[in-house]
Amino acid sequence: MASALSIANPETIQDLLQDALAQRSKFFICLPREMSSLQELCGVLQEITDRYLTIEVSGLRSDPFSWVSQSVTCYFSVRDQVRKTDIFYNFTLPIHDTVVRRGDYNLVLERPVRLKIGQRRSSLRLEPASGDILGFSLWEEGVVASRCPQMDRVKLREPLIAQEHAAKGMAACRNISAGGIGLRLSSKLQSTLHHELQREWARGTRLVLWLALADTARTNHLTCWVKGRIRYRLDGYLENDTVFGIEFTEHGKKDHRGKVAWHPVKENAIQDVGAWVYQRYLEQFRRGIL
């Protein structure tokens, strides 16, 4: 995997920090497990000096002075006026001090001399570029396969939605992350599904997906089986199309017999998908798409 993009120019770093201060960008501070039971804190940049950053954080009930000298990873975003999008940055540095101001706790961190490009992998959402998704199939959970009496074995049913629908513009992946996927379905495809199923998908509907993701860092492309449930439905999107937000709940891996074994998704993220999303994000940034 290629190394992450990074920025080391002091003037550029100063400009980005000043933008974060002016835009009141949220700083997400990830804490090591051995450091605290809290996984992360949310804060706002309050002050920039030649040597330190002061971040006002919420969610603390006591002085975290014991964290001094411990390293944490901070993520923040700045609105890029040229690309018209938010660009995410991160750095890992020790906590220098803690300060109490107006009853709130502030963390004083050493000032970064290098910023990496990239958001938290678990929350990074990517709008796939053309060619990123090589294959796609979707079924309702429970009706993925059927037994073939003639061959005495189980075979896959025809998927409700497949790559051919995407090729015709009837279905598209709006975004994908380690924890879920957003799908857009045309009104025509919606009508076909309603006629076939005699019902409409709603919040809580459980689905099974097969994805083939283009990956230049591997000799083989990344393929994965996932189960998910619909978290939201947005009707009337672009000429009566519908957008579904699907949360990943389980991921499957084939065993030595070729049977898919299902495992619960931990911490709302499938690591292989998250790594792929992160890598494609960096590649898009290099090509100037973002």
Q: How confident is the model at residue 2 (pLDDT cuts 50, 70, 90)?
A: very low
Return d(Cα 225, Cα 137) in angstroms, integer: 10
Report in angstroms the alpha-carbon separations of 134 from 2, 66, 173, 213, 220.
Answer: 21, 49, 12, 6, 12
At 9, list the tokens. Answer: 């120019």
Where in the sequence of the chain do the CATH 2.30.110.10 domains occur?
A: 6-117
* Architecture of domain 6-117 in this structure: Roll (2.30)
pLDDT score of 219: 65
pLDDT per residue as tens digits for the range 51-100: 999 999 877 777 788 889 999 999 998 988 776 678 889 999 999 999 88
pLDDT score of 111: 94
Return d(Cα 160, Cα 289) in angstroms, integer: 32
Who wins on pLDDT, 275 or 205? Answer: 205
- Three-class DSSP labels, the chain: CCCCCEECCHHHHHHHHHHHHHCCCEEEEECCCCCCCCCEEEEEEEEECCCEEEEEEECCCCCCHHHCCCEEEEEEEEEECCCCEEEEEEEEEEEEEEEEECCEEEEEEECCCCEEECCCCCCCCECCCCCCEEEEEEEECCCCEEEECCCCEEEECCCCEEHHHHHCCCEEEEEECCCEEEEEECHHHHHHHHHHHCCCCCCCCEEEEEEEECCCCCCCCEEEEEEEEEEEEEEEECCCEEEEEEEEEEEEEECCCCCEEEEECECCECHHHHHHHHHHHHHHHHHCCC
Who wins on pLDDT, 59 or 134? Answer: 134
Mean of all residue pLDDT scores within the chain? 86
Phi, psi of 46 (to 5 degrees): -110, -35
Mean pLDDT calculated for residue range 272-279: 88
pLDDT score of 160: 95
What CATH topology corresponds to 133-270? Answer: Thrombin, subunit H (2.40.10)
At 86, list the tokens. Answer: 């938010």
Percent of the chain with pLDDT over 90: 52
pLDDT score of 79: 87
Who wins on pLDDT, 223 or 124? Answer: 223
Does position 238 have pLDDT exceeding 70, yes or no?
Answer: no
Return d(Cα 60, Cα 156) in angstroms, integer: 51
CA angle 152, 156, 159 (to 5 degrees): 155
* Cβ within 8 Å of residue 237, ≥6 positions away: 184, 243
Residue 151's DSSP bridge partners are none
pLDDT per residue as tens digits for the range 5-24: 789 999 999 999 999 999 99
At 207, list the tokens. Answer: 């689905």
pLDDT per residue as tens digits for the range 159-201: 999 999 999 999 999 999 999 999 999 999 999 998 899 889 9
Q: How confident is the model at residue 122 (pLDDT cuts 50, 70, 90)?
A: low
Where in the sequence of the chain do the CATH 2.40.10 domains occur?
A: 133-270
pLDDT per residue as tens digits for the range 27-53: 999 888 777 777 788 899 999 999 999
Percent of the chain with pLDDT over 70: 90
Return d(Cα 44, Cα 55) in angstroms, integer: 5
